[in-house]
Amino acid sequence: MKPIAISRLTICGIDELPTHRTHGVTHVLSVLDPERQDPDIFASYAPHERTILRFHDVIEDKEGRPAPTKADVEAILSYGEALKDTMADRRDGHLLVHCHMGVSRSTAAMITLMAQCEPDRDEDSIFTTIREMRPIAWPNSVMIGLADELLGRQGRLTAALQRHYAIQLERDTMFERWMTELERVREVEFGRALRMQKA
C-alpha cells in the first residue's frame, strides 16, 4: 500500500507470529476473539505500532457470538485513516494483519484497507493480491459486505468476493469441507452459484 508509505503486507495466524519477529514489522492490526488472551509474542518484536480489535469470526449471530458489525468494520477503516494521517512520519513500513488462523477476519480486514487506500483499484485485482499473499484466504462475507457499503463500492467488492470464493472452491475441495464444518455454508453456496452459472 505505497500510497500510505507501507510497502510490505503480511497476513498470518497467531501460530505464525513468531516467524515474523525479525521481518521489520512496523504496524500490527490484531483481530481477536473477544474472550481470547492477548498473544505475548509482540513483546519480542522490534518497536512497532499495534492496534487490537475484538470480534467473532461468524457470519450469522449465534448465542454469545454476534457477527461482525458495521462498527467493527468502521474501526478497521479508522485504522486505515490513521495510517494515512501518519504517512509523512515514515519513509516505509511493514503492516502485519493477523487473526486466529489468518484465513477470514484478517484477509477481510486487509482487503478493506487495500480498497480504502486505493479507491480506484479494481476489486478483482485486490482479491488476486490477497490470494498471492495468503493462498488459504476465505474472507468473512459479512465484513466484506459492510466494507463494500462503507467504501461506496456499490456491490463490486461483494461481486469480486463471489468470484474469489468460486476460484477457491475450484482450487481445493478443502474449502467446502472446512467452511461447512464452520457453519459457513452460505458462503460456499454463494461461490458455488457462480461456478454453476459458468458450467
Q: What share of the chain is helix, strand, coil (3-state, %, to 5)?
A: 55, 15, 35
**Residues 6 or more apart in contact with residue 52 via CB below 8 angstroms:** 30, 32, 38
Range 138-157 average pLDDT: 98
How high is the pLDDT of residue 3?
82
How high is the pLDDT of residue 198?
64
Residues 156/119, Cβ–Cβ less than 8 Å: no
Give the model confidence (pLDDT) of 107-146 as tens digits.
Answer: 999 999 999 999 999 999 999 999 999 999 999 999 999 9
Residue 199: pLDDT band (50, 70, 90) is low
Strand ranges across the sheet with 49-54:
8-13, 94-99, 27-32, 49-54
Residues 34/9, Cβ–Cβ less than 8 Å: no
Residues 121/115, Cβ–Cβ less than 8 Å: yes
Give the model confidence (pLDDT) of 28-71 as tens digits.
Answer: 999 999 999 999 999 999 999 999 999 999 999 988 999 999 99
Give the integer Cα–Cα distance in Å for 103 and 127.
13
What phi and psi values does residue 156 have, to the nearest 5 degrees?
-75, -35
Q: What percentage of the chain carries pLDDT values higher than 70?
A: 98
Task: Map out the domains of the chain with their CATH numbers.
Answer: 2-156 (3.90.190.10)
Please state, in angstroms and as integers, the Cα–Cα distance from residue 131 to each residue in 5, 50, 69, 118, 152, following that order. 22, 24, 25, 18, 23
